[in-house]
Structure 1
Amino acid sequence: MQVFWQLRWYFRQQWRRYGGAIGILILVSLFELLPPRAIGWIVDDVVAGEMSLTVMFGWLGGLVAIWFFVYFLRIIWRVWLFGAAAEMGTVLRNRLYKHFSFHPPVFFERHKTGDLMARSTNDVNAVVMTAGEGVLTAADSLITGIAVLFVMTTMLSWELTLLALAPMPLMAIAVFFLGRQLHSRFSASQAAFSDLMDKTQESLNGVRMIRAFGLEKRQQADFAAVTDFVGDKNLGVARVDAKFDPVIQLAIGMSFFLSIAGGAYMVHHDRLSLGDLTAFTLYQGLMIWPMLAMAWLFNILERGSAAWNRLKQLFDQHPEIVSGEQQLTKQRQPLQVAISQFYWPEQKQPALADVSFTLESGKMLGLAGPIGSGKSTLLALLLRQQELTDGTIHYGDVALREANLDQWRSRFAVVSQTPFLFSRSIADNIALGRPEASMAQIRAAAEAACIDSDIMQFPEGYQTLVGEKGITLSGGQKQRIAIARALLLDAEILILDDALSAVDGKTEHRILTNLRQQRGKTVIVIAHRLTALEEADMILVLQQGRVAEQGTHSSLIKEENWYAEMYRYQKLEQAIEEA
């Protein structure tokens, strides 16, 4: 029953539905007590020859009316109860999605996507079942069971009632131990399902690479091993489930045997009438559902408890990065960075050290350096996806830690090296950040990103579906669509994280020229192809997390260091390719 206490926050929100449903359940239980008692009276009167055919049909008509009325009441409480439970699924999934949205990237490094999807589907469904079927079985079994026991004990025979209940303690003990087994096995089953979701997602995402390397058979064997493992775990749950029904049926069979045997003895000795024994057996029939429900309730609660514990593990993980309260002004401010040191978790060497610069509003900053030099780390700190503890980043006079996080991130438009496109039309993908944008605005952004002519060559133009993750487009087309999406946002600061790597040099030059023509926009460009940084107002060359060189393109060329050497190498490589 602990899971009900854990879900009390939702029961308080929906107390009208749950309270109304339980109230009707009580009313239904009271009405269901009438037919067995009435049938007992009819049997006694018929045996005694004191009931006419007209009176008997009158009684039967009344019973039919009661049954129709109970049927109508059952419809009402089912709509209220299961409607509230279904809404809980919506509440939990929205809460999970919002919870995921506020977490930094490190959260998704700890939890695989397949695991999060499994918890958002299977575990939520198990909790919803607890809030629906669980509440039903708990309330209905208790209400019906108590009411029927009261009538059987006070109006018929308490001795026969005790005899009929004799097998119940044995059933309760068996169900208790089976419930404990079910909890552990269901938790293992859900964890195995998460692994299956992870494997499925990885296989589908990497299907091109799998085919390119001819790994289909190996992947099929690996996937078969995972599915077999999940099947074994589910079979373990099914084995425990299979033990519930025999235990319950055996207890019910013993209960009926004892009540019929004891009732016959009491009727033979005139301690009970035949009508009372008939009513008793009918009431005992009503007790079958509470007995079944109690066992089924243990099953549901153990599943719901295991599922809620898995969801609670996610809800208990609060975002490491908390928004500040300082509101940002609409006036654009310079960005001042002074990083003393920044370490990634479990790394002994700093990812960044002694990095300081000031980026004025409307200027272009270029970041260059070897792979692993700290360029992407610097962007993560600027976006506050990672927390800087040793150093400061200021936007004007406001420290980044004190700024409102939503306002700060809304000032950025980021284009990564491998942009993500949704399985929607090209127009929808470009207008992702501004769904209300007109087609003219979408095309203007596409023209600035040098992708409009490519789009118009498609048969359906901007309404062309790009496929999942943009699978129908080339790498350069995906990058330029992502740049158009960022330009349409018209954000104050545009970040291009090696976002021009898949386009040719001529197109790269045109895009950068278009960006320079947008006055007032601050641009941060990470590039391995250094021609993209020729027009930058300031270039930082990072090596091993430190600023090795700093200046403009022309000044760095003269210094004969890494930047100059790499620039000449790339120029030579380009000339060879053109030749």
Structure 2
Amino acid sequence: MQVFWQLRWYFHQQWRRYCGAIAILVIVALFELLPPRVIGWVVDGVVSGDMTSSELLGWLGGLAALWACVYFLRIIWRCWLFGAAYELGTVLRNRLYKHFSSHPPVFFERHKTGDLMARSTNDVNAVVMTAGEGVLTAADSLITGLTVLFIMTATISWELTVLALLPMPIMAIVVFFLGRQLHTRFSASQAAFSDLTDSAQESLNGVRMIRAFGLEQRQQRDFSAVVDQVGEKNMAVAQVDAKFDPVIQIAIGMSFFLSIAGGGYMVSQGQLTLGDLTAFTLYQGLMIWPMLALAWLFNILERGSAAWKRLQQLFDQQPEIVSGAQPLSLQQQPLSVAIEQFCWQGQNQPALANVHFELAAGKMLGLAGPIGSGKSTLLALLLRQQELQDGQIRYGDVPLREANLEHWRSRFAVVSQTPFLFSRSIADNIALGDPSASMSAIRAAAQAACIDSDIMQFPQGYDTLVGEKGITLSGGQKQRIAIARALLLEAEILVLDDALSAVDGKTEYQILQNLRGQDQRGQNAFRQNKESNSKPDRTVIVIAHRLTALEAADDILVLHQGQISEQGTHASLLQDNNWYAEMYRYQKLEQAIEGAE
């Protein structure tokens, strides 16, 4: 019953539905007590010959009307009770989604996608069943069982009632131990289902790679092993489930045997009439459901308790990054970064150290450096996806720790190297952040991202469905659509995280020219469509391995092993003749060789 206590917050919210449904259940239970007693009177009247045909028809008509009333009352309480239970599923799934959205990326490193999906589906369904079927079986079995026992004891024979209840304690003990066993096995079954969901999700996401490497057979064997494991866990649950019904049936059979044997003896001794014994057996028939419901209740509660424990494990994990309350200025402010040291969780080697720089509003910052130098780490700290412990990042006069997190992140438009596209049309993907945008604004953003001509070559143009994760598009097309999506937002700070790696040099140059406003005609057309001529220039942060993307940057930081090894403009860094200049000349030579070939 502990799971009912854990769900008390929802029962309190829906107390009207639950109280109304239980009240009708009480009325139905009282109505169902009348037919056995009436049938007993009818039997005694027929046996004694005192009942006329009109009286018999009257009693039967009354019973038919009573059963019709019970039928409609059952419809009402089912709508109230199960309606409230199904709404719990909506509440829990919305709560889970909001909870997932509030966590930083490290949360999703700890929990696999398949596991989160399994908890959001199977576990939620088990809790919903507890709030519906569980409440029904608990209330109905308790109300019906107690009222029937009272009638049997008070109006017929308490001795016969005690005799009929002798098998019940044995049944209760066996059901209790089976319930404990079911809890353990159902928890293992749900965990195995999480593994199955995660395996299926990974296989479907990586189907291209699996086919490219010819791994279909090996992947099939691995997946079959996971499926077999899930089947074994479910079979273990089914084996416990299968033990409930025989125990209940044997207890019911023994109860009827004792009541008929003892009742027959009492009738022969004149202690009971035949009608009384008939009414008693009919009442005992009403006790079959509470006895069956007892086993079903234990089954539902143990499943719900195991599922709620898995959900509670997620809800108990509070976000590591908590939003501040201080609002941000409506005017663009400079960004001041002073990182003394930052280490990833579980690592002693700092990922960033002694990183200090200023980024003025409306300027372009370039970030370069070898792989693993700390560029993405710096971006994660700027977006406050990771918490900086030693140092401070300020937006104007406001430290990021004290700023409203939602307001801060809303000022960014980030385009990553591997952008995510939804299974919608191209227009919907570009207008993701601004669904009300006009088609002219969408096309203007696409033109600034140099993707409009590619889109218009598709048979359905901007209405073309891109497929799951943009599977029908090339890497360069996906990147440019993501850039158009970011441009449409006209966010204050645009971040290109190696977002031009899949486009050719000419297209890269054109996109950067558009971003910096050097192509006045295209930029002015874009701004007119967005009605934003009065807005100041956006701040741009470009992370790139191809250094030609950084030529127009106002300031360039070269990171090496988490520290700033070089800083300056493109021209000054070339004159310094260090890593940046060497890599730039190497890339230029590589382009020249490719062009010659």
1:504 is aligned to 2:504:
yes
Match of 2:61 in 1: 61
Deviations, residues 244-276 of structure 1 (Å, cap 9, x unaligned): 000000000000011011110000111000000
SS at match of 2:473: coil
CA distance in 2, matches of 1:29, 1:503: 73
SS at match of 2:347: coil
The Cα of 1:520 is off from its aligned counterpart by: 1.2
SS at match of 2:287: helix
Match of 2:530 in 1: none
SS at match of 1:33: helix
The Cα of 1:348 is off from its aligned counterpart by: 1.6
State how 1:66-77 maps to structure 2 within 5 Å.
66-77=66-77
Deviations, residues 76-97 of structure 1 (Å, cap 9, x unaligned): 0000000000000000000000
The Cα of 1:58 is off from its aligned counterpart by: 0.4
Match of 1:5 in 2: 5
The Cα of 1:329 is off from its aligned counterpart by: 1.2
Letter in 1 for 2:458: F
The Cα of 1:355 is off from its aligned counterpart by: 0.3
SS at match of 1:94: helix
CA distance in 1, matches of 2:88, 2:359: 48
Moved over 4 A (4+): none
CA distance in 2, matches of 1:578, 1:67: 89
CA distance in 1, matches of 2:201, 2:560: 36
Letter in 1 for 2:56: M
CA distance in 2, matches of 1:321, 1:387: 7
Deviations, residues 405-452 of structure 1 (Å, cap 9, x unaligned): 010000000000000000000000000000111111111110100000
State how 1:80-159 maps to structure 2 within 5 Å.
80-159=80-159
Match of 1:180 in 2: 180
Match of 1:449 in 2: 449
State how 1:64-463 maps to structure 2 within 5 Å.
64-463=64-463
CA distance in 1, matches of 2:263, 2:444: 89
Letter in 2 for 1:541: V
The Cα of 1:309 is off from its aligned counterpart by: 0.1
The Cα of 1:347 is off from its aligned counterpart by: 1.1
SS at match of 1:499: coil
Deviations, residues 206-230 of structure 1 (Å, cap 9, x unaligned): 1111111111111011001000001
CA distance in 1, matches of 2:538, 2:443: 20
The Cα of 1:346 is off from its aligned counterpart by: 1.2
The Cα of 1:509 is off from its aligned counterpart by: 0.4
Q: 1:554 aligns with which of 556, 571, 583?
A: 571
Match of 2:520 in 1: none
CA distance in 2, matches of 1:346, 1:287: 60
Letter in 2 for 1:218: R
Match of 2:585 in 1: 568
SS at match of 2:361: coil
SS at match of 2:257: helix
User: Which residues of structure 1 form unaligned runs of 5+?
Assistant: none
Match of 2:550 in 1: 533
Letter in 1 for 2:266: M
1:543 is aligned to 2:560:
yes
Letter in 2 for 1:158: W
Q: How many residues align?
A: 579
CA distance in 2, matches of 1:510, 1:386: 33
Deviations, residues 102-149 of structure 1 (Å, cap 9, x unaligned): 000000000000000000000000000000000000000000000000
CA distance in 1, matches of 2:53, 2:448: 92
Cα-Cα RMSD: 0.5
Deviations, residues 509-553 of structure 1 (Å, cap 9, x unaligned): 000000001651000000000000000000000000000000000
SS at match of 1:436: coil
TM-score, with structure 1 as normaliser? 1.00
Match of 1:524 in 2: 541
SS at match of 2:341: strand
CA distance in 2, matches of 1:134, 1:429: 43
SS at match of 1:367: strand
SS at match of 1:357: strand
1:577 is aligned to 2:583:
no
CA distance in 1, matches of 2:150, 2:441: 74
Identity %: 81
CA distance in 1, matches of 2:89, 2:140: 22
